[in-house]
Structure 1
């Protein structure tokens, strides 16, 4: 437990909430003068026993339950990034799911400008794989420059003719991603409908039931047919907007022609600085 960071986050956000906004009075006279809710008022609003919140904010509540952390996060109006921080500080692990089911459904508008500035195919989808933003290069991949509204459904159903070696290079790798997403978003109507269609599909259903361990495409290479440039293959880069859990930025680096057999691109690592002793020897001759 990171007591210092936990106290800093909670006390700062608690100070921003006026007691009057919840029908409570602010202490007067010789009493407390600090801004915002008192720790006891937090207990009142969360219907917890006296001293519960004090234990949490002071870092003296080992393994606090998920429902307490969620109630505090909702009361303090934490965003998704702050929710992850709260969970890591208090429970030393990532939260089991987003704070709100509506999270991951939108990203700041500047993401459209960001993908427009990427030279390779690039797009942003929300947590349900619905398209939020795309650049010209991504749109050019499709006949009539009409990108799919939902990229998960496209990869599993509508794009089979365009995705070369679909049954071996695409479907078995995409289905585990859907399963992992549903594990965290069990009531997502878009994902549930796609799962329903998968289970009704004679090709996809057996693959889905078999399971699989692939849950993200970062670094994958897969064959594809470009509407303009013809058959080729793409190398995938995947990232996530921090304020939208489940949303994703995908960059596809397209290579025309037949994919060449070669080793995976080496991992990037931080460049190590020259050892001090080496620098000193060089300086002194």
Structure 2
């Protein structure tokens, strides 16, 4: 626990909450004049024992439960990046999931310009794997110009996906299915992901693999065979990243090389000199 930074974050955000917005009245005579909610009022609003929040803000609450941190974050109206900071400062680890289930559904508009400026196939999906931005190079992958609305469903269940993703049963499905499972762990109430899981469990080609598959949670750095809609067979190197303001969203850059065999041995890792 980083007591100094944790206390500074909590005091700063507590001072921004108007007590009157929560039904408290400010003293008119002598008494407390500090801005924002008092520590006692935080305990009242969170239905916690008196002194609970004081222990957290003062850094005297080792390993505070995530549910307490979440309640504080929601009361203080933290954004997703502040939620990550709170968990890192209090628990020395990232949060188990997003603060708001609605997060990861949108990204700043200039991301489209950024994706358009990438020469390789590139696209961005939201936390439900719905496609929200792509460039023309990615669109060219699809021979009939029919872009998938949800890339997870397309990779696992769409007949066109199973055709273009070469050696789908061995090179793609066993590695994509665990990503669906991981996404549902972080967002168990996501209706889109739940529906995809339902369809996966009803499909004889995916049901068994989903139940017994690997534990991969991302494909960054993988190379897989691909049948490009215009360029023919080849291999794609997958680069994956995340827009920081939208937890659960993903940027994929697909580096395609023609040929039926791997284009080169695995490249060495990059390191600063």
Normalising to structure 1: TM-score of the pair? Answer: 0.91
**Structure 2 Cα separation of the partners of residues 9 and 74 of structure 1:** 14
Q: Does 1:132 align with 2:141?
A: no
How far did residue 14 of structure 1 move?
0.9
Q: Is it true that 1:9 corresponds to 2:34 in the alignment?
A: no
Aligned to 1:283: none
Q: Counterpart of 2:120?
A: 120
| Equivalent residue in structure 1 for 2:230, among 228, 235, 242 | 228
Partners of 2:48 and 2:210 in 1: CA distance: 43
2:272 matched residue in structure 1: 270
Q: Which residue of 177, 180, 188 corresponds with 1:186?
A: 188
Query: For residues 261 and 78 of structure 2, what CA distance do their matches in structure 1 show?
Result: 46
- Tell me whether 1:196 sits opposite 2:202 in the alignment: no
CA separation of 1:11 and 1:103: change in aligned 2, threshold 3 A:
same
Q: For 2:37 and 2:272, locate their aligned partners in 1 and report how far apart those are by CA, in whole Å.
A: 44
Give ranges in structure 2 of 5+ residues lacking alignment: none
- Superposed displacement of residue 29, structure 1: 3.5
1:66 aligns with 2:85: no
Give 1:214's match in structure 2, choosing from 213, 216, 225: 216
- Offset of 1:270 from its aligned partner? 2.0
Deviations 1:29-82 (A, max 9, x none): 432222211212111211222221111111111111122111100000111111
Structure number with larger C-alpha Rg: 1
Contact 1:236 1:251 in 2 (8 A): yes
Shift of 1:141: 0.9
Aligned-partner Cα distance in 1 for 2:27–2:112: 48
C-alpha distance in structure 2 between counterparts of 1:8 and 1:55, whole Å: 14
Q: Which runs of 5+ in 1 are unaligned?
A: 272-285
Question: Which secondary structure does the structure 1 equivalent of 2:144 belong to?
Answer: helix
Q: Which residue of 1 aligns with 2:111?
A: 111
> Helix, strand or coil: the match of 1:112?
helix
1:135-150 equivalences in 2 (<5 Å): 135-150=135-150
Answer yes or no: is the 8 Å Cα contact 1:70–1:99 preserved in 2.
yes
C-alpha distance in 2, partners of 1:11/1:128? 34
Q: How many residues align?
A: 271
Q: Let me know the Cα RMSD of the aligned residues.
A: 1.4
The CA distance in 1 between the partners of 2:171 and 2:244, in whole Å, is 29
The TM-score normalised by the length of structure 2 is: 0.95
> Quick one: distance in 2 between partners of 1:209 and 1:150?
22
Residue 55 of structure 2 corresponds to 55
Contact 1:138-1:147 within 8 A present in 2 as well: no
Q: Deviation per CA, 1:189-223, whole angstroms, max 9, x where unpaired?
A: 11111111111111111211222022211011111
Identify the range of structure 1 (141-150 vs 244-253) with the bigger mean alpha-carbon deviation. Answer: 141-150
* Kept in 2: contact 1:56–1:64 (CA 8 A): yes
State the distance in 1 between where 2:263 and 2:254 align. 19
Instruction: Measure, in 2, the Cα distance between the counterparts of 1:213 and 1:49.
Output: 40
Q: Distance in 1 between matches of 2:266 and 2:174?
A: 20
Which range is displaced more, 118-127 or 94-103? Answer: 94-103
Q: Is the 8 A contact 1:130 1:149 kept in 2?
A: yes
Q: 1:122, 1:135 within 8 Å by CA — same for their partners in 2?
A: yes
